[in-house]
Amino acid sequence: MNIFHTSKLPGRTVETTDGRTFLWFSGTDYLGMGHNEALRRYVHFATETFGNHYGSSRNNSLRLDIYDEAESQLALFLKNESSLIVSSGMWAGQLVMKEVENLAVQAPAIRKIAYHYAPGVHPALWGQAFQRNEGEWNKWALQTVRKINATEPDVAHIVCTDAVGSPMVKAFDFTLFHAIQNPANAWLIIDESHSLGVMGTSGNGVTEQIGSTLLKQTIFVSSLNKSPGIPAGAIWGPKSVVETVRKSPWFAGASPPAPAYAYALKMLLKQNEYAVARASLLDNIAWFNAKMNGTALFECIKDYPVFCSSNPALFDHLLQNGIMASCFPYPSPADAPVTRIAISSLHQKEDLDRLAEVCKQFNA
């Protein structure tokens, strides 16, 4: 595996410590927030008020209002009842996994818990009785629905999945779960880390794909450090769920993200900065797709900024032509590497033209 080092944050380009410069088509900063001037301005302003960090429990007797304000703004954007901000996306997932059984057994008839883990589900949602599943997602979903429908009513089912496939990009059909006959006994936990800010009619993820009945039993988690550019994580869903998690010792005992970033999140949402960046991203995706003109080289999905190949030679070809994508085993060293190209809102049309030109050379 090739490893490179840099002392500067990549944007359109990346400069390695050996002095070479590449066009940068990697990472998860899809909306280009790593170099967003509004985000930088909001953080700088808020640091004057809130300091560099907040070394306290969120459940302390003295509380900073900015967290509640940011969470309210985030829930409004997500079109969900309530949200909670935590230190990272990984902790958001693990916090929910630690508390989900307490949520499930609140129904008086529940005596047992059954877990259903989707193929490729992120480690943030690895919990009790976890076993890796290498199957195809839609087939797994259909089998899971059949298992749930065939089980006695005293069993609560906890279904864990990503919103979109990663590192090999795949679209998932969440309408398959509408066939669950007793949704009150099923909890759907979805990791939106790679969909938040990108997918959905306004960048609010896959919420709109979940039926209204099942949505009452759906918990979303996400890193905010990808598209939103905020070093934090989030949990959202029904207000009763968020309030239960907030009372958890796992939440009370964990430090929150820096309050300056909570302020920045609130303002970026309030001023529609993410919508502006997303419009640029969608324009860039459409431009690149038009240049590729249907060339069958990638695994990709509509209006999504990631283009994947299982052929590691593509990574080397791109590198030889001044373009750096990514190609490494994920999430464990034993996994097969995926060549992953990520477009961002920072890219210019000439960057995309060059990428398309080099990809078509490889395909030829």
Q: What is the pLDDT of residues 322-362, one digit of tens each?
A: 999 998 877 777 777 889 999 999 999 999 999 999 999 99
SS3 310: coil
**CA 352/CA 357 separation, integer angstroms:** 8
Q: What is the pLDDT of residues 289-316, one digit of tens each?
A: 999 987 789 999 999 999 999 888 999 9
Residue 52: predicted pLDDT = 94
Residue ranges of domains in the chain, CATH in brackets? 13-30+273-363 (3.90.1150.10), 37-270 (3.40.640.10)
CA dihedral 101, 103, 104, 110 (to 10 degrees): 100
Residue 357: predicted pLDDT = 96
Determine contact, residues 139/148, Cβ cutoff 8 Å.
no
Q: Over the range 98-117, which residues count as b (16 or more CB within 10 Å of their CB) and which as e?
A: bbbbebbeeeeebeebbbbb
Q: What is the pLDDT of residues 40-52, one digit of tens each?
A: 999 999 999 999 9
Q: What is the pLDDT of residues 151-194, one digit of tens each?
A: 999 999 999 999 999 888 999 999 999 999 999 999 999 999 99
Pairing of strands 21-24, 155-162: unpaired
CB-based burial label for 248 (10 Å; 0-12, 13-18, 19+): middle
Structure tokens of 63? 């509380």
Q: Name which of 114-123, 141-150, 269-278, 292-301 the model is least confident about.
A: 292-301
